[in-house]
Every structure is written in C-alpha cells, then in structure tokens.
Structure 1
Amino acid sequence: MTRRIVALDMGTVRIGVAMSDPLGSFAQGVAVWDAEGDWLSDLRELVTCRNVSTVVVGLPIRENGTKGPSAENVEAKTEAVREAFPDLEIVMWDERYTSTIANRVLIEGDVSRKKRKGQVDKVAATVILQGYLDSLRR
C-alpha cells in the first residue's frame, strides 16, 4: 500500500492541510482546521484513513533566518503531533513566503477577498508540501 505525505500550515487561528497523491508527486489542499479545536483528532483520522507516513510542518522563519513567537507556537504544536504519532516521520520545512505565494495564486485565480481568507491556509499547506515533494526528486 502506498504511503502518503501530509503538510500542515499551522497558524494561531487556522491550520491548512494538504496531502500528496499516492505516488508522492503532487500536493493537493484538503482541509482547513480550527487551530483552537480538536485538530489532533482530525489529523488522527487522516493519518489512519489515508495511510500517512510523513507529516511536513511549515516552520515560519523570519527573513533574517531567526525564529519568532509564531515559530515557537508551531514548534509546540509539532511536539504534540510527535507525542500523538510516535511512528510518523515529522519534517520541519521552511515556510517563508508561502502565504504570499498562496495569496498570489488565489488572486490570480480570481478568488474574492472574502473567500481567500478561508482558503489561503490550505493553499499555503499545498505550497509547503509541493516544495517538499520537489526536494525529494532533486
């Protein structure tokens, strides 16, 4: 059975989720979860139902390469993922500019400002995952 890879774009309000195709070539946005909700249960269902082997977590590094409060928040949530899923490979991935790229993609796709707000996290997770998948092929 083919193993899939999931990416998480963890914010303080929403968590964008993307998943690879079975061959690990393409990323597709699949969900936006409430960061204050029971997102670990949502992740458990995804991991179980879709045979996930790896979770790629976007780490918000500042332009100067340092970590700020948002990176510390992501690292704390990632630790919760490690504890809940000790058998999964967890990869931290530099997510600089992914939200900017995601917004640009949505604007070019003529998505209204109102609809963009709910979609940008999912698209950002897709950008993170596609970058990771592309790096595996290099």
Structure 2
Amino acid sequence: MDPHYNQKYTKEQIFTVLQTIQDCVRESRFYISKNENRQENIDFINEYNLTNKKQKEILLKIAPEDFCHTLQNMKLGFEHEVLYVFCPQVMLFNFEGNEEWVDVYNKFNIIDPNGGKRVVVISFHKRNKPIDYLFR
C-alpha cells in the first residue's frame, strides 16, 4: 500500500467525517469535479446516465464500511488537506439497460472556509485499481 495512505482511524471517526460529507451533499454544498483532469468522472456519469439526483443518491448511500483510507493532498499549496477515499458497491444501469454492480471510487475533500463547510468530490468513477477496506 502507498505510504501516503492512512488507515489509522476508528469507525466512530469515519462515521463523523461521513456525516459531515453527507450533510454537505444533502444541503447541496458539494460539487463533483468535472474539469479537464477529471475526464473519468465525466465518462462515468455519462456511461450510467447519472442525473444530479442519482449522483446525490449514490453519495448519500455511502456507509462507514465503504471507507478505504485517507491521503494527503499532493497539490502545491494544498498539502494541508486530507482526502477521504470510499468505495461503495452500487447497482447501476448501463447503456444497454442491464443492471450491474459497480464499485464507485469516491475521493472527498472537505473544505471549511470560515466554518462554511463544503465538499469537493474529486473522484467519482468506477474503481480502476485495487483497494483495501478498513472495516470489512
């Protein structure tokens, strides 16, 4: 496992973090990155025709058991930020209309400017590498 990955958390700590993330999602204080560096997110949303409502549903179904690890943000100027990785299994319909279980890789950044928390969903796509769950 990458030395930047951290799994030193209790289930209670992750439950609290997930509550913060999901409160932001419920209150529409979040966005999913769809810039030129996040083509994988765009392709995933398009492949499964995920409306904003469905995207929200997926994010709100994440459980503490879906937690994998955290990592330090490596972007210059943002090294103080901790990114949280979860990977729930979700039943989705593909373009052929077939149902399939999909491991959805989610990487979250909780931003707290002056107490006004919001969440950036940096990654929102099919899992593309092996992962380890902390609580499974």
TM-score, scaled relative to structure 2: 0.28
Structure showing the higher helix proportion among its residues = 1
Say which structure, 1 or 2, has more relative contact order (CA 8 Å, 6+ apart).
1
Q: TM-score, normalised by structure 1?
A: 0.28
